[in-house]
Amino acid sequence: MSVAGRVVLLVGGVGGAKLACGLARILPPEALTIVVNTADDFRHLGLHVSPDLDTVMYTLADLANPETGWGVAGDSFRAMEMLAGYDGPTWFRLGDVDLATHLARTAWLDEGLTLTQVTARLCERLGIRHTLLPVTDDPLATRLDTDEGELTFQVYFVARGWQPVVRAVRYVGADQAHIGAGVARVLEEAGLIVLGPSNPVLSIDPILAVPGVRERIIANSAPCVAISPIIGGRAVRGPAAKLMAELGMDVSPAGIARHYGDLLSGIILDEEDRALADAIEAVGVRAFARRTLMLTDKDKVNLAQALLTWAEGVAT
Ligand code: GDP
Ligand code: CA
């Protein structure tokens, strides 16, 4: 079977969403499932916030705000201004249009729907034809042990602007979390599994921490390939490089390959890092150097197409 028959893409927010967008332009809905991190989720102002699901959803619906990486393009913040007038908490901002997504999600969850069902309903109304699956419907939350003490994810990321120095990361609830039913099935049936160009520690690792995810990737003989989020020793945006360095990881595609270890059959690294390809291949991971920076829609589609073509030749 062609790898493009059933592709499963694991992602966090911005970086992964761009690749999801490229793949969704090429593959029909039945050939692509996007499994999304939920360890950034939290309850705020009584609302269930799912930042990575929303980033991927808004990106696929062509509603995303490229400047912020979250929220809806052109959104207004009148509700936040009113809230500020009440001296309410405004450190985590939600736009007026974005609030509707949060109200609907929270109401449907309170009615007893699962996060998977709620996500499907939101996607359907937004005209998204490909399937987005939260990795689990159970609570999962990243906690960071930092030089300022233990911080919840959103306090670290938004309130403290990822400035605290991180010593360790854990995923609260992962041990008890059940892999989403759809997630288990698509990982078993996948012809290609892709670890998106997402933050390895904050976006991909919490997905892999849900019992059954890692095991199914290993049990499936299909190739598992990563796209490096690190280009020339830097993250395209966000804390990936800083965090990797603080955790003692090698901040390069080679470090990414080593981090994913025996899960990985191949990695696409940026052309800027071409010199590292041989060293990666020497440890048994196929390496392919090309442009990985996705600035335009054309970049996204070209990378997605190159990934599918290259992966055909990658065996485990
Ligand atoms: P977050 O949840 O929004 O932080 O999203 P992700 O974890 O999916 O994405 C953040 C990562 O995406 C960062 O480590 C970036 O370096 C990476 N990234 C963003 N845009 C690109 C891109 O165009 N190409 C590559 N290779 N990586 C990217
Ligand atoms: Ca995220």
For ligand 1, pick from 52, 236, 249, 271 the residue to mutate: most ligand atoms within 8 Å of CB: 236
Across residues 285-304, what is the average pLDDT?
98
From CA 130, how far away is CA 124, in angstroms rounded?
9
CA-based nearest residue to 193, from 308, 116, 301, 300: 308
Cα–Cα distance for residue pair 306/228, rounded to 1 Å: 14
Mean pLDDT of the chain: 96
What's the token pair of residue 102? 């949060």
Please report the beta strands in the chain, taking only residues with DSSP state E, as ranges in sequence order: 7-11, 32-36, 42-44, 47-49, 131-134, 141-146, 149-152, 166-172, 192-195, 224-227, 230-231, 234-235, 266-270, 286-290
Whether 157 shows a pLDDT value over 50: the answer reads yes
Per-residue model confidence (pLDDT) at position 264: 97
Q: Establish whether residue 293 lines the binding site of ligand 1, counting it when its CB lies within 6 angstroms of any ligand atom.
A: yes
- pLDDT reading at 2 higher than 80: no
User: How far, in Å, CA of 316 to CA of 308, rounded?
Assistant: 15
pTM of the model: 0.97
- Closest ligand 1 atom to Cα of 294: 23
Q: Cα(103)–Cα(116) distance, rounded to whole angstroms?
A: 16
Helix ranges (H only) for 5-114 are: 14-26, 51-60, 78-85, 96-110
- Whether 287 is in the pocket of ligand 1, judged by its Cβ within 6 Å, is no
Q: What is the pLDDT of residue 137?
A: 98
What is residue 5's predicted lDDT score, i.e. its pLDDT? Answer: 78
Segment 39-48, tens digit of pLDDT: 999 999 999 9
Is the C-beta atom of 240 inside 6 A of ligand 1?
A: yes
Is 4 a residue whose pLDDT tops 70? no
Query: With a 6 A CB cut-off, is 50 part of the ligand 1 pocket?
Result: no
- Give dist(CA 182, CA 240) in Å, integer: 29
Cα distance between residue 83 and residue 122, in whole Å: 26
**Distance (Å, whole) CA 28 – CA 35:** 16
Q: What does the pLDDT look like over 179-235, one tens digit per residue?
A: 998 999 999 999 999 999 999 999 999 999 999 999 999 999 999 999 999 999 999
Report the nearest atom of ligand 1 relative to the CA of 55: 3
Mutation pick for ligand 1 pocket among 36, 199, 202, 291 (CB with most ligand atoms within 8 Å): 199
Is the predicted pLDDT of residue 1 greater than 70, yes or no?
no
